[in-house]
A and B are shown apart, each in its own frame.
Chain A
Amino acid sequence: MAVKEAKVEKSASPGLMDRIRMNGGFLPYILILPTLLLILVIAVYPMLDSIRLSMLHNPFAARPKFVGLQNYITVFQDPVFRQAMGTTMIYTVLSVALESIFGLLIALLINKSFPGRGLVRAAILVPWAFPTIVSAQMWFLMYGDQTGILTYILRSLHLLAEGDTLLNSVPGVITASVITDVWKTTPFMALLLLAGLQVIPADLYEAASVDGATRWQQFTRITLPMLKNPFLIALLFRLLDAIRVFDLFYVFGKQMVPSLASFANIRMFGSNTEFSQGVATSILIFIIGIIISIIFGSMLRSMLKEQG
């Protein structure tokens, strides 16, 4: 809150005269040109092209045949796609829900200053900084048959039969991916929420405790409502990221238990005739992402209106 006010003041007072003097000319356009060109050629054009490609039979043929929505229909009728869809949805809901809960707990834990706090922050950042594909390999070692410490623990607890591993079944692969993702991405959630916690004015809590509010009341009446905005933003980032999960299922699921994105990859780079089915799948991922963005965008907007 305090940060926002300060910013408004700054840009308002010296701004106007200065802005008018600086306004105009071609310079701003020249400055944005490299970025704009690159985004147009490497992101926007391929995105539009993928819509065209998804409606061709085999884009590598001399004269590709236009088949309309046939690839989408084929994909929807494909049991492997349906399984990938289910897998991705379950994975998304579970991982984002767990990351939210653990993220909030960790944020509350390191919100207070205590000796060694910086060290904790650094320690939880370590998993975040690792390449997902390398994290997946590390956990693969722990989920492994002979090498795996987790396999050993799960067998000792009789959660796994002797000779069985987590990566042998569909629910097992989803569980393994959720665990690895929660390990890797909870820090991100925690840090976003921590930043949100730290801008809540301390006076609010002081006033509340003067009025006799309990710790729990302070948490539910002050902390949670004030966290809503950063929480929604973090949730949006995470959901968009989770529906396009690729690396984890590439390692844990291989060809057997794909996510939507790894299914798209298998189709695209498996055989020429199925390339367009892969592209169609990736467009479906994009559409799901747009729907999520619209929902969260409208939620954020209505909340900003409430706050004035």
Chain B
Amino acid sequence: MAQDVVKKRASRAAKDQENGKQWSWAAFGRYIAVIVVVFIALAPLYWTFITSVKDGTEINAYPPTLFPHHWNFNNYIDAFTKSDFFLPTLRNSVIIAVVTTVVSLLFGILCAYALGRTKFYGKGAMLAIVLSVNMFPFIAIVGPLYILFTNGLYIYNTYAALIVPNIVATLPLTIWFLTSFFRDLPSDLEEAARIDGASRLQALWHVIVPLTAPGVFAAAILSFIAVWNDFLFGLTLTSSTAAQPVTVGITFFNSEHQTSYGMLAAAAIVVTIPLVILVLFLQRRIVSGLTAGAVKG
């Protein structure tokens, strides 16, 4: 395997050198294509941003202006101060996403350890159950969950109403991903810890988790993004700003009761900025997390 990689690198480097020596149409075409792709990927973000800094008259100007004539940040201030839902729902989303990610990671680590590093009867069945959850259309469970939460568990319109289903939604990916990481770890380190008298759980916590920290971290980012982005559970299992997530809150800027495109755009920028930062700094980890399941197969 190592040889393969070295060879691949060598041949790639040789090709790069060739390409570097002479200006070629292929390289030129590649850069044009790259520019087009990046432009399309970022254009809506640009449009939303300039909409958010335009004032009320310029937003409705026709034809639309590509560069704002007057910059102002009133839409941001208004979104936070003049609406009674944006700040509370934003706060709800942060709490829900953080708590869900932590609990999902904890359950996921325990389950992935059992699946990846121990042998037990029913392991195949457990893997199948975990993976099949991924295929559930969540629209099919929100109805029964609504009834369960309003009549049985009485957690409708609380943080728990969103944390619990979101844990279930993020667990399959977390477990799938961590299992492959744990399984690939050589067993001597864990054995050494066991010989020194550590229990299995101590070995898991003090040896395995630190050694697979990049994988655990990638799983955490992916579940945070998934929970932050949830809309369906938020729409159906909560009913007031006491628990609604910001994905629901943001739709209030564009509803029958109120339409404010400037504030809508400002809110969209605020909600997506944490994600843009995560992506820019951690793209390698995110990509490895996204593709782990599919390639390793």
Binding-face segment, B67-75, B81-89, B205-213, B289-297? B289-297
Please tell me if the beta carbons of A23 and B272 are within 8 angstroms of each other in the complex: no
Q: Given A118-B283, A130-B272, A140-B254: A35 and B47 within 8 A (CB)?
A: no
CB distance from A156 to the nearest CB of B (A): 8
Q: Does A11 lie at the interface of the complex (its beta carbon under 8 Å from any beta carbon of B)?
A: yes
Contact of B283 (CB < 8 Å), options: A15, A122, A133: A122
CB-CB nearest in chain A for B10: A202
Q: How far is the CA of A244 from the CA of B135 in the complex (A)?
A: 10
Contact of A18 (CB < 8 Å), options: B41, B171, B191, B228: B191
Please tell me if the beta carbons of B231 and A132 are within 8 angstroms of each other in the complex: yes
Chain A interface bracket (under 10, 10 to 19, 20 to 34, 35 or more): 35 or more
What is the 8 Å Cβ interface bit string for chain B, positions 81-122, against chain A (1 contact, 0 not)? 000000000000000000000000001101101110111100
Contact of B171 (CB < 8 Å), options: A38, A149, A283: A38
CB-CB nearest in chain B for A129: B275
CB-CB nearest in chain B for A190: B37
Q: Given A137-B264, A289-B135: A53 and B251 within 8 A (CB)?
A: no
Within 8 A of B (CB), among A82-129: 105-106, 109-110, 112-114, 116, 118-127, 129
Q: Given A35-B111, A129-B275: A28 and B168 within 8 A (CB)?
A: no
Q: How far is the CA of A240 from the CA of B139 in the complex (A)?
A: 13
Contact of B120 (CB < 8 Å), options: A29, A137, A141: A29
Q: How far is the CA of A41 from the CA of B279 in the complex (A)?
A: 34
CB distance from B250 to the nearest CB of A (A): 6
Contact of B141 (CB < 8 Å), options: A6, A47, A113, A250: A47
Please tell me if the beta carbons of A206 and B133 are within 8 angstroms of each other in the complex: no
Q: Given A141-B51, A147-B59, A188-B290: A53 and B144 within 8 A (CB)?
A: yes
Please tell me if the beta carbons of B143 and A53 are within 8 angstroms of each other in the complex: yes
CB-CB nearest in chain A for B153: A41
Residues on B with beta carbons closer than 8 Å to the beta carbon of A118: 283-284
Which interface residue of B44, B168, B171 has the most chain A CB atoms within 10 A?
B44
Q: How far is the CA of A129 from the CA of B184 in the complex (A)?
A: 28
Within 8 A of A (CB), among B247-294: 247, 250-251, 253-254, 261, 264-265, 268, 271-272, 275-276, 278-280, 283-284, 286-287, 290-291, 294
Q: Does A81 lie at the interface of the complex (its beta carbon under 8 Å from any beta carbon of B)?
A: no
Residues on B with beta carbons closer than 8 Å to the beta carbon of A192: 290-291, 294-295
Residues on B with beta carbons closer than 8 Å to the beta carbon of A152: 62-64
Which interface residue of B12, B27, B235 has the most chain A CB atoms within 10 A?
B235
Residues on A with beta carbons closer than 8 Å to the beta carbon of B168: 38-39, 42-43
Q: How far is the CA of A278 from the CA of B165 in the complex (A)?
A: 20
Contact of B295 (CB < 8 Å), options: A122, A195, A279: A195
Q: How far is the CA of A36 from the CA of B144 in the complex (A)?
A: 19
Q: Given A32-B115, A230-B294, A282-B137: A123 and B30 within 8 A (CB)?
A: no
Binding-face segment, A72-80, A168-176, A216-224, A263-271? A263-271
Please tell me if the beta carbons of A113 and B12 are within 8 angstroms of each other in the complex: yes
CB distance from A281 to the nearest CB of B (A): 8
Residues on A with beta carbons closer than 8 Å to the beta carbon of B247: 131, 133-134
Chain B interface bracket (under 10, 10 to 19, 20 to 34, 35 or more): 35 or more
Q: Given A125-B286, A265-B236: A132 and B129 within 8 A (CB)?
A: no
CB distance from B189 to the nearest CB of A (A): 11
Q: How far is the CA of A109 from the CA of B141 in the complex (A)?
A: 40
Residues on B with beta carbons closer than 8 Å to the beta carbon of A124: 37-38, 41
Q: Given A38-B107, A129-B279, A141-B261: A23 and B137 within 8 A (CB)?
A: no
Please tell me if the beta carbons of B30 and A114 are within 8 angstroms of each other in the complex: yes
Q: How far is the CA of A29 from the CA of B83 in the complex (A)?
A: 49
Which interface residue of A22, A28, A122, A183 has the most chain B CB atoms within 10 A?
A28
CB-CB nearest in chain A for B283: A122
CB distance from B235 to the nearest CB of A (A): 8
CB distance from B240 to the nearest CB of A (A): 15
Please tell me if the beta carbons of B279 and A122 are within 8 angstroms of each other in the complex: yes
Sorted nearest first, the 9 A-B pairs with minimum C-beta distance are: A46-B144, A195-B291, A131-B229, A28-B120, A282-B140, A46-B141, A31-B114, A28-B114, A244-B137
30 A–B contacts, CB within 8 A, in A order: A11-B183, A14-B186, A14-B188, A22-B118, A32-B110, A32-B115, A34-B107, A39-B129, A39-B168, A39-B171, A43-B136, A46-B143, A49-B148, A50-B144, A112-B12, A118-B283, A122-B283, A126-B276, A127-B44, A131-B231, A134-B271, A137-B251, A137-B264, A138-B44, A140-B254, A146-B60, A192-B294, A246-B231, A279-B144, A289-B135
Chain B interface residues toward A at CB < 8 A:
1, 4-5, 7-8, 11-12, 15-16, 27, 30, 33-34, 37-38, 40-42, 44-45, 47-48, 51, 59-60, 62-64, 66, 107-108, 110-111, 113-115, 117-120, 123, 126, 129-130, 133, 135-148, 164-165, 167-168, 171, 175, 183-184, 186-188, 191, 200, 225, 228-232, 235-236, 247, 250-251, 253-254, 261, 264-265, 268, 271-272, 275-276, 278-280, 283-284, 286-287, 290-291, 294-297
